[in-house]
Amino acid sequence: MSTTESSRRPLMAANWKMHKTPAESAAFIEQLRPQVNDAACDIVVAPPFVCIPAAVHAAGDSVIAISGQNLFWETSGAYTGEVSGAMLQAAGCRYVIIGHSERRQYFQETDETVNRRLQAALKMALIPIVCVGETLQEREAGQTEAVLSRQFEGGLRGLSAAEMQNVVIAYEPVWAIGTGRTASPEMAQEAHAFLRGCIARQFDTRTAAKVRILYGGSVKPDNVAGLMAQADIDGGLVGGASLQVDSFLALVKAAR
């Protein structure tokens, strides 16, 4: 299902993964901040947990929102090494990334744990950015849609339509993340339209028309325009090209 709905505000999100210190995070945001006052998109920066206070302070009352890169579903307790949604919210985060393929690949996250994290995020009024995407092997075996359906149905189970409207989906083909190999705009559009169809089936067409679906996977200043021109691509979740102010700024400017 495709849609011509134009009311979705674009969103450009920086996923810094395990990069930058608190001082480097603050310096980045201080440099970005005066250049994005009139941005035509929402701007999200997801630094490592220990950099969140510095990032929130540097962002101040600007248009830059800070995100966690993950959360645990319990509020507090004996869970060494984990960070809860309540903690992210108290630290000033407005968003949280859930189910990134690196979490699925290296930290054994499943659609079920994605769903538990998602429920916890919504309870804490954090805007979840839920990542889905197929591996190269799955794509080559013609399983892309089956994988996306399974991740969507399992990861987004049990939500009301009103809750779903606050969720952001990120389509991130695993083979395109950090590889320099981007999905073509047409290939990405096809997957985004398919995901919008999943939302319509599991919820309704009104909800499907409202949910923002980001593309992630080697988005760069020189390929962002073609991606953003697609009807169902509402922005980007960006790793490598979000680590320098100039390239992230170019992406922000292209998101309109």
Query: Minimal distance in Å, beta carbon 8 to ligand PEP?
Result: 20
Q: By CB under 6 A, tell whether 47 contacts ligand PEP.
A: no
Task: Tell me whether residue 100 is one of the annotated catalytic residues.
Answer: yes
Q: Residue 41 and residue 247: Cα distance in Å, rounded?
A: 16
Q: Is 191 in the site for ligand PEP (CB under 6 A)?
A: no
Out of 51, 177, 213, 254, which residue is the one contacting ligand PEP (CB under 6 A)?
177
Stretch that binds ligand PEP, among 31-39, 54-62, 142-150, 216-224 (CB under 6 A): 216-224
The whole-angstrom separation of Cα 245 and Cα 27 is: 10
Q: Exactly one of 102, 134, 138, 172 is catalytic; name it.
A: 172
Query: In terms of CB distance, is 92 or 240 closer to ligand PEP?
Result: 240
Q: Which stretch binds ligand PEP (CB under 6 A): 19-27, 78-86, 104-112, 213-221?
A: 213-221
**Residue 247 in contact with ligand PEP, rule: CB under 6 A:** no
* Closest by CA position to 195, among listed 216, 177, 170, 174: 170
Q: How far apart are CA 34 and CA 94, in angstroms?
A: 20
Catalytic one among 100, 102, 109, 138?
100
Distance CA 234, CA 212 (A): 6
Query: Closest separation between CB of residue 248 and ligand PEP, Å?
Result: 11
CB of 240 to ligand PEP, least distance (A): 3
Q: Tally the residues of the chain.
A: 256
DSSP string, 130-175: EEE---HHHHHTT-HHHHHHHHHHHHTTT--HHHHTT-EEEE--GG
Is 57 tagged catalytic? no
